Homo-oligomer: A and B are copies of this chain.
Amino acid sequence: MPDISHKSAAMPASAIRKLVPYSEAAEVAGVKVYHLNVGAPDIKSPDCVKESTTEFHHLSYTHSAGLQVLRNAMAEKYYKPLGLDVEASDIIITVGGSEAFAMAMQIAADPGDEIIVVEPFYTNYQTYAYLNSIQLKVVHTDIKEDFHVPSIAEFEKQLSPRTRAVLLCNPCNPSGKLYSKEEIMAIGEFCRANGLFLICDEVYREFCYTQEAFFSALQIPGCENNVILVDSVSKRYNLCGARIGCLVSRNKQVMQCALKYAQARLCPPVLGQQVALRALDTPQEYFTEVRQEYKKRRDYTLQALNAIPGVYAPLPNGAFYTVAELPVDDTEAFAKWLLTEFRLDGETLMVTPVASFYKTPGEGKRQVRIAYVLELDQLKRAMTILEKALEEYKHV
């Protein structure tokens, strides 16, 4: 029997998804599981995406960069009204934000190169770094300091001759941290001064809960050649399964390379592109309502979490996640126990252990990521389950 490659055998399984078999088993056994583990919102997609029927003669490949009409509409109907100076030629449609990220990382860095990332960070960054033999160097942020981003001096400490990029997620998955204009400008200037790319994952851009306007990395003056934006259409319009995202950059070399990666996989999914095109006619009120709904959920969830003895969760200003520190030694064991052992009237809870969102060993072992993506009454029930579970877990 042939051996699997070392690379594949040693590849870490998705920390977010590796508990899935336990939740599947619980659900097969009739247990209701409240899924606070994945950022899979229950929010309705905009009505305008649903009007058309699936009528076609055959489904052709589109251009590898995506439908021209979609790229035009993204620039004109989405980015420009946001104040972002983006042309259709600065956009390549990707298979979700994930593919845009995979491309960006490979365009920025060779095997053996380094990328500086703020931890905690979305675990798949580490997965794609691993697959491409890129080293992640981390700037640590701490839950006790509400994930405050440290000074540029901390970024400078991570600089080496192999550093090729800084990678940010704004708003941040998992912490919900929303970067200020000043923070983004300072990091942009650091990248410009050191000849680094700034890969900025802004897939949660529409989910911010402060009064200030969102400040995109694309708005940093003088960083046109540094910034590679990772964006998602699927996330924005509650179309996660459509798998449509994009890579955006005004650096022509970056776009030429991105097209080569795009050609290797022929084209992005056409049905998703058609839905994305319709989604661009979504009225602003849709986002206003979605933000109101999430803000309500966030406010409830954070208040409820912090009311549980021994739990601490800082208030997130963006995305639909929060990181909470729990009074347990190992949240992975706790999360598994929730799925396999604990039941409250036939119900339980799924949360995501956060240790793998950190690169620094030992960090985050007492933390979970909670996605407040369920309706308020379900979140209430989930918080009750969490409180009872933590109480019982003391005696396990």
Instruction: List chain A positions with a Cβ less than 8 A from chain B.
Output: 1-9, 11-14, 16-17, 20, 38, 40-45, 49-64, 95-96, 98-99, 102, 106-111, 113, 124, 127-128, 131, 133, 164-165, 191, 195-197, 225-226, 234, 238-243, 251, 253-254, 257, 259-261, 263-272, 275
Whether A264 lies near B96 (C-beta < 8 A) is no
- Overall SS of chain A's interface: loop
A99: chain B residues at CB < 8 Å are 265
Roughly how many angstroms separate A63 CA and B40 CA in the complex, as a whole number?
12
Interface contact A5-B109, CB-CB below 8 Å: yes
CA A124 – CA B64 in complex, angstroms?
14
Q: Which of chain B's residues have a CB closer than 8 A to the CB of A64?
A: 14, 17
Quote the shortest CB–CB distance from A74 to chain B (angstroms). 18
- Within 8 Å by CB of A95, from B56, B62, B243, lies B243
A264-B127 CB under 8 A given contacts A59-B239, A111-B133, A275-B54: yes
CA distance A188 to B14 in the complex (A): 33
Closest residue of B by beta carbon distance from A51: B54
Task: Point out the residues of chain B lying under 8 angstroms from A257, CB to CB.
Answer: 4, 8-9, 11
Q: Which of B50, B95, B264, B275 contacts A14 (CB 8 A)?
A: B264
Contacts of A272 in B (CB 8 A): 269, 271-272
* Residue of chain B at shortest CB distance from A62: B241
- For the complex, give the distance between the alpha carbons of A61 and B39 in Å: 9
> What's the Cα separation between A13 and B260 when bound, in Å?
5
Q: What residue of chain B has the Cβ atom nearest to residue A68's Cβ?
A: B24
Q: Which chain B residues lie closer than 8 Å to A133 at the CB level?
A: 111
A58 with B239: CB separation less than 8 A: yes
Contact partners of A44 in chain B: CB under 8 A: 57-58
In the bound complex, what is the Cα–Cα distance between A44 and B55 (angstroms)?
11
Q: Is the CB of A264 within 8 A of B98?
A: yes
A221–B58 CA distance with the chains assembled, in angstroms: 37
Kindly list chain B residues whose C-beta atoms are within 8 Å of the C-beta of A111. Answer: 7, 111, 133
- Which residue in B1, B61, B108 is a CB contact (below 8 Å) of A240? B61
In contact, A13 and B263 (Cβ under 8 angstroms): yes
Chain B residues contacting A195 (CB-CB under 8 Å) are 1-3
Beyond A263-B14, A271-B272, whether A165 also contacts B2 by CB under 8 A is yes
Q: Is the CB of B95 within 8 A of A240?
A: no
Chain B residue nearest in CB terms to A5: B110
Does B58 contact A41, Cβ atoms closer than 8 Å? yes
User: Would B265 and A96 count as touching, CB distance under 8 A?
Assistant: yes
**Do B266 and A269 touch across chains, with their CB atoms under 8 A apart?**
no
Which B-chain residue is minimally distant from A228 (CB atoms)?
Answer: B2
Taking the nearest CB of chain B, how far is it from the CB of A171, in angstroms? 19
Most buried by B among A53, A54, A124, A165: A54
The contact sample of 5 A-B pairs, CB cut-off 8 A, is A1-B225, A2-B226, A4-B254, A51-B54, A272-B272
CB distance A266 to B98 under 8 Å? Answer: yes
Closest to A258 in B: B8
Complex: chain B residue closest to A254, CB-CB? B4
A58 to B243, CA, bound (A): 13
Known contacts A54-B52, A98-B264; A59 and B45 CB within 8 A of each other? yes
Instruction: Specify which of B2, B128, B266 is in contact with A225 (CB 8 Å cutoff).
Output: B2
Are the CB atoms of B267 and A243 closer together than 8 Å?
yes
> In the complex, which residues of chain B have a beta carbon less than 8 angstroms from the beta carbon of A56?
45, 50
Q: Is the CB–CB distance between B95 and A238 below 8 Å?
A: no
CB proximity of A8 to chain B, nearest CB, Å: 4
Q: Given the complex of chains A and B, what is the CA–CA distance between A92 and B391 in angstroms?
A: 40
User: Which residues in B have their C-beta under 8 angstroms from that of A9?
Assistant: 253, 257
Contact (Cβ within 8 A) A108 B13: no
